[in-house]
Amino acid sequence: MDYLQLPESITEKSTPGGQILAESKQRSSSDNINSPQTSDNTCIPKDFSCIYNKDLLPALSGEDTTKSFFQELVNILLSYVCKSFRRSSKVLDFHHPHQLREGLEGFSLELPDQPENLEQLLVDCRDTLKYGVKTGHPRFFNQLSSGLDVIGLAGEWLTSTANTNMFTYEVSPVFILMEEILLKKMQEIVGWSEEEGDGVFCPGGTMSNLYSVLLARYHFFPEVKTKGMTALPRLILFTSAHSHYSVKKSAAVLGIGSENVVVVKCNDRGKMIPAELESSIITAKDQGCVPFYVNATAGTTVYGAFDPLNAIADICESHGLWLHVDAAWGGGLLMSKRHRVKLQGIERAWSVTWNPHKMMGAPLQCSAILVKKRGLLKDCNQMCAEYLFQTDKHYDTSYDTGDKTIQCGRHVDVFKLWLMWKAKGSEGFESQVNKCLENAEHLFDNLKQRPDFELVFKSEPEHSNVCFWYIPPSLRNMSPGPERNRRLHEVAPKIKAKMMEQGMAMIGYQPLGDKVNFFRCVFSNPATQTEDVDYLLEEIASLGHDICIRTETDL
Ligand code: ABU
C-alpha cells in the first residue's frame, strides 16, 4: 500500500497501516516525550522567570529546558483550543488599536533591546491569543474561512516544526509527493481525465486567480515572458459584477490594466448573465481589442452564487477564450454528492481556484490553482536558477517543482490538508459541507418567518451564504424609498459595533450594488449547530432593538 494515498473513507485503512500506527505508538510511549522530567528524572521547575532563550536548544544541556518550555506552551495552546469550542467563552475580547499599542496588563507589543525571560514570553503567547479573535468559535460567522480543525492544527504544528521549503525534492521529499497526490485528487474531483492536470498550492485565492490570468496570457502569447506587454495587443478579460476583486487586481499586477477588465452584468441572484458576456466579447472585438480570458465564479463572496458554468463554457469555446473557474469558496461543494451539481461544467475549465481553507476547514492558508494543460506552469514560470534547480542531481528532478511557481521560497501548505483527508476520508468532508449548508437552510427558514428581518433575496441559498437586514422597530412601518434606505444603511454597522464590544458572536456586513448595508452570514465551521444560528438572530434582534438611527432632521 502507498501510505501517501488518500482514503475514500477512514474505515478503509488496511492492516499494514494499522501495524505502522501500532509500532509508532510503542515508540512514542518509550520515548516518554510527554514527561516534564529531566534525563536524571528530576522535575524541572515550571518557573521560567530566570530562564532565557540562550538556555534552550541548541544550548548544551538545553534539551530538558526546551521540552519543559514546550510543555507550557502546549498547555496554553490547548487551553485556547478548548475555549474556542466553548459557547460560554467570548469570540473576541475587543480592544481598539491604541489600547493594544499602549499595552495591556503586562502585555507590550514594543520590542526590547535586552532579552526577556521565558516567563514573559509565555505571557506574551497567552495574551496574543487572548486579544485575538477565536475564528474556531461556533459563533464566528464573519469570514469564509472559519473553524478549528484539530487534525489540521496538528498538521500545521508539524509543518512549522519541519520548517522546510517547497521548492525542491531534496529539501521536501515527502511534502512534494503529498502535493502531487493531493492535486491529482482534486483534479479528479473536478472531473479532469488522467492525462490532464497540473497545479500548485498558493498563498491564498487571490494568488491562485493571478496564476490563472498569467497562464492564460502565456498560453496565447508566450512571447510575453521575454518581450513583456509591449509585444502584445490590447488584451481584455471578463468577470462578473459579483466576482472577487482579485481578478481586477491580477490585471493591474500583470500590466494588463484594471480598465481592461470588462465587468459583466449579473441577474438579481448574483449570477453572470451569459448573453451579457457574449455581447461584451463581441463589443471588445469590434473595438479592436483581443479578448482572451473569462473568469466564472462558483460561489461568489457575498451572495454565494454559482455562475452558469456550462453556458459560459459554450461561449468561451465558440470564441476560443480561456475559461477560469474561481471556486475558491464553492470548490468545497464538489465533495458533496448532494451539492456538486451546482458546479456542473467545472470540468470544462482550463483552470480552477479551490481553497480548502474555506469550506473544507483546513487551517489558513491552503489554496490550490489547478491547471488543465500539463507543462504550462513550468513553461510560463521556469527560470532555471542553477544554484537551486541543478539538472545533474541524482534523482528525478521533475520533482523539483519550485520552478513552476512565481515564488522561490514557498510554504508547505499541503501537509495539514493531507492529514485531514487521512483523518476524515472524502466522506468526512462531504458530511462537513452538507452540515454547513443545512445550517444555512435553517437560518433562511427562520428569517422567512420573522417580521423583524428581511431577506436580501428570496430564493433558497445555493451555498452557505445567507444575506439579510435587521429591521428595527422604527423602520418597520416606513415605506420603501431613499430615506428608509439611508437609515437602514446605518443599522448593520451599529449592531456589529455593539456585537464586537460584547464579544459573544461575530458576523460581517457590506453594501452591494444598490443594496444598502446588509448582514452576510456564512457557515464553514462544522462546530456550529442550529442553536448557534438561533442565538445569532436573537443577539442581532436584542442589540438592534433600541439602536439610535439619525433621522433627516439630525443631519
Ligand atoms: N477571499 C475572500 C474572503 C473574504 C471573506 O472571508 O469574507
Between residues 9 and 302, the one the model is more confident about: 302
pLDDT band with cut points at 50, 70 and 90 for residue 18:
very low
| Beta carbons of 210 and 381 less than 8 angstroms apart | no
Nearest to 540 by CA among 513, 489, 506, 490: 506
pLDDT band with cut points at 50, 70 and 90 for residue 7:
low
DSSP for 55-108, written as a single string:
GSTTSTT-HHHHHHHHHHHHHHHHHHHHHHH-TTS-SB----HHHHHH-BTTB-
Q: What is the pLDDT of residues 354-406, one digit of tens each?
A: 999 999 999 999 999 999 999 999 999 999 999 999 999 999 999 999 999 99
Asked if pLDDT for residue 40 goes beyond 90, the answer is: no
What is residue 548's predicted lDDT score, i.e. its pLDDT?
80
Q: DSSP character for 324?
A: E
Q: Name all residues whose Cβ lies below 6 A of ligand 1.
A: 143-145, 205, 301
Q: Positive or negative, the Cα torsion across 460, 461, 467, 473?
A: positive
All three cell numbers of 224: 510575453
Asked if pLDDT for residue 488 goes beyond 90, the answer is: yes
Proportion of the chain above pLDDT 90, given as a percent:
89
For residue 534, the CA-to-ligand 1 centroid distance in Å is 23
Tell which atom from ligand 1 comes closest to the C-alpha of 205. 1
pLDDT band with cut points at 50, 70 and 90 for residue 105:
confident
What is residue 25's predicted lDDT score, i.e. its pLDDT?
33
Asked if pLDDT for residue 14 goes beyond 50, the answer is: no
Q: What is the pLDDT of residues 509-538, one digit of tens each?
A: 999 999 999 999 999 999 999 999 999 999
Residue of minimum CA distance from atom 7 in ligand 1:
143
pLDDT band with cut points at 50, 70 and 90 for residue 134:
very high
What is residue 428's predicted lDDT score, i.e. its pLDDT?
98
What distance in Å separates the CA atoms of residue 55 and residue 67, rounded to the nearest whole number?
12
pLDDT band with cut points at 50, 70 and 90 for residue 555:
low
Nearest to 497 by CA among 487, 510, 486, 506: 506
CB count in 10 Å sphere of residue 30: 8
In angstroms, what CA-CA distances link 395 with 174, 180, 389, 390? 14, 16, 12, 11
pLDDT band with cut points at 50, 70 and 90 for residue 150:
very high
Q: What mean pLDDT do residues 2-21 have?
A: 42
What distance in Å separates the CA atoms of residue 93 and residue 58, rounded to the nearest whole number?
37
Asked if pLDDT for residue 251 goes beyond 50, the answer is: yes
What distance in Å separates the CA atoms of residue 489 and residue 411, rounded to the nearest whole number?
41
Residue of minimum CA distance from atom 2 in ligand 1:
301
Cα angle 437, 442, 447 (rounded to 5 degrees) comes to 125
For residue 143, the CA-to-ligand 1 centroid distance in Å is 6
Instruction: Note the pTM of the prediction, 2 decimals.
Output: 0.92
Q: What mean pLDDT do residues 192-220 have?
A: 98
CB count in 10 Å sphere of residue 363: 25
- The residues that bridge with 401 in the sheet, in sequence order, are none
Query: Taking the chain, what is the end-to-end CA distance rounded to the nearest angstrom?
Result: 72
Alpha carbon 42 to its chain centroid, in Å, reads 45
Asked if pLDDT for residue 100 goes beyond 80, the answer is: yes
Instruction: Characterize 273-292 residue by residue with b for buried, 16 or more Cβ atoms within 10 angstroms of its Cβ, and e for exposed.
Output: bbebbbebbeebeeeebebb
For residue 222, the CA-to-ligand 1 centroid distance in Å is 32
Q: What mean pLDDT do residues 347-359 have?
A: 98
Asked if pLDDT for residue 135 goes beyond 70, the answer is: yes
What is residue 21's predicted lDDT score, i.e. its pLDDT?
31
For residue 301, the CA-to-ligand 1 centroid distance in Å is 6
All three cell numbers of 101: 499599542
Return mean pLDDT, the chain: 92
Nearest to 549 by CA among 521, 523, 525, 516: 516
For 327, residues 6+ apart whose C-beta sits below 8 A from its C-beta are 297, 298, 299, 334, 343, 346, 352, 353, 354
Q: What is the pLDDT of residues 224-242, one digit of tens each?
A: 999 999 999 999 999 999 9
pLDDT band with cut points at 50, 70 and 90 for residue 5:
low
What is residue 552's predicted lDDT score, i.e. its pLDDT?
62
| Beta carbons of 85 and 138 less than 8 angstroms apart | yes
What is residue 307's predicted lDDT score, i.e. its pLDDT?
99
What is residue 554's predicted lDDT score, i.e. its pLDDT?
61
Nearest to 456 by CA among 419, 436, 495, 485: 485
What distance in Å separates the CA atoms of residue 469 and residue 186, rounded to the nearest whole number?
37
Cell match 462531504: residue?
A: 430
